[in-house]
Amino acid sequence: MAMTSLRVRRHRLPLWALVLTVVAVALPAIATSRAQGAATGCTVTYTTNEWSGGFTAQIRVTNLGAALNGWRLEWTYGGDQQVTSAWNAQVTQSGGAVTAVNAAHNAVLAAGGSVDFGLQGTWRTADPAPTAFVLNGVPCGGTAPPTPTPTATPTPTATAPAECAGAAICSDFEDQTGTVPSGAWQTTAPDCQGTGKVSVDTSVAYSGTRSLRINGGAGYCNHAFAASTRDLSSVGPVVYVRMRVRHTTALPTNHVTFVSMPDASQGGRALRVGGQNGALQWNRESDDATLPEQSPAGVALSTPLPTGRWLCLRYQIDTTAQSMRTWVDDQEVAGLHVDGVPTQDVDGQWLARGTPPRPTGLRLGWESYGTGDDTLWFDDVALGSSPIGC
C-alpha cells in the first residue's frame, strides 16, 4: 500500500538574516516522516536531526496489529545515506535498503505498544526522509495527519521552575508520571547499550519529589542516558547550562562521561562532561581531546567531585569563539577554562581544533570506557541563552 510522508523543511530566512549568519557554523535541520497503517499494520514516526554530511534519526514504531515477540522494521533510503551506528536495535544496510531488528530487551511489542530506537549516519548529496516502512512483512500504509513543525525557539516545560523560566530546557522532572522517562525526556544509548539503567526516582530529589536516576555500569560501551527532546540548534550565541548532580562513587581513574551533548561542529559526535584521573574534565569525542590536559599539573587544576550530596554544576559554551567556563558549587574550575589563548597543561590540545562547539542536544546519564560504575541523580536542569545561577 502506498504511503505519504511529511518532511519538515528549513524555515526560509530574509536576506538580511542570511547575511548575518553566513559566518556561523551550519545548524542541524529537523525532518520528520510519519506513516500510519491500518488496524493490521503499524505507525512509524521517523524524526531526524541533520547537519552537513551527517544525521541522527529517532524512530518510534507503534504496533497496530497482534502482539509481536520479535520485530523487524524495513525501509529504503531515497538518498545516499549510510547508517554508521544504532542504539536499541540491530540495524543493517544493503544499498539503500535498511533493516532494523529488535534488541534482546525490547523484542516484545504488545498490541498498541510502541518501541523507540535510533541511529546515526552520513550523507553526501541528499538526505530525504524514508517514504515507506514494513513491520514483520506488513506494510505501514495510508496517510497521517501532519507532524507539527518544531518551534524555532524552544520553550520551557509547563512545570518549569520559575528560576529558569524562558530557558530552552527547564526541568525538575516533576512532570514525570512513571518510572521510565517520557515526554520531554527519552531513554537512549548513543552508541551501544549494556547493563546501565535510566529511571525516574521518587525517593531521592533535590527539589520536589522526583529526580532522574542513572544506574551506570562499568565496562566499555555501557551507555545509558536520558535525552532531552529539545533541539538546541538555535540556542546561543552562548549556551548556559545549570544542573544539580549527586554522585554515589568518586570519579575513577579511567575515563567516564555523565553529560553528553551532540555537537554539530564534530559532525554530531559528542561534547562530553565527565571524569578522568579522579577529576572533572571535558572530552571531545571526535579527537579525544581533554580539558584540562591529563598531565599531573593539568589534573591538579581541575577538581574531584563530592559524593553523597547534591552539587551545582554550571558551564557556558560560546558557539562563535573558543570560550568555555565551568563552575562547581559556584567555584570556577581553573582547568576547565578556555579563552582562546593556550594555557600550559590546560587547553593547548583543546585549541588545536579551530571550530567552536555547536551543541544541538543534551543527554544526562553514564558512559564507561573500561572500569568505573556509579549511581547518580540529576535534578533542576536548565539550559538557555542567558546565565542561570545556582
Write the DSSP assignment of 88-106 as a string of letters.
SEEEEEETTEEEEEE-GGG
Domain 15-140: state its class. Answer: mainly beta
Tens of pLDDT along 340-382? 888 999 998 899 887 899 999 999 999 887 777 889 999 999 9
**216 close to 247: Cβ distance less than 8 angstroms:** no
Amino acid (one-letter) located at 13: L
**CB half-sphere exposure, 9, CA atoms < 13 A:** 3
**2 close to 142: Cβ distance less than 8 angstroms:** no
Q: Name which of 143, 130, 147, 145 is nearest 2 in CA terms.
A: 143
Q: Cα(61)–Cα(49) distance, rounded to whole angstroms?
A: 18
Q: Cα(127)–Cα(53) distance, rounded to whole angstroms?
A: 9
Between 357 and 166, residue with greater pLDDT: 357
How far apart are the two ends of the chain, measured CA to CA in Å?
Answer: 55
Tens of pLDDT along 107-154? 899 888 889 888 988 988 889 999 899 999 888 853 333 334 344 433
The DSSP symbol for 264 reads G
Burial class (CB in 10 A: 0-12, 13-18, 19+), 145: exposed
Q: Cα(316)–Cα(383) distance, rounded to whole angstroms?
A: 10
Cis status, amide bond into 342, omega within 30 of 0: no
Task: Please state the domain extents for the chain.
Answer: 15-140, 162-384
The DSSP symbol for 12 reads P
272's grid cell: 562530553
The helix or strand, by DSSP H or E, that contains position 16, with its residue range, turns out to be helix 15-20
Beta bridge partners of 262: 270
Q: Name which of 190, 268, 240 is nearest 25 in CA terms.
A: 268
3-state secondary structure of 35: strand
Q: Cα(225)–Cα(69) distance, rounded to whole angstroms?
A: 26
pLDDT band at 163 (very low <50, low <70, confident <90, very high): low
CATH 2.60.120.200 assigned to 162-384: yes
Q: What is the mean pLDDT of the chain?
A: 82
pLDDT band at 298 (very low <50, low <70, confident <90, very high): very high
Residue with the three cell numbers 546561543: 236
Q: Cα(304)–Cα(329) distance, rounded to whole angstroms?
A: 12
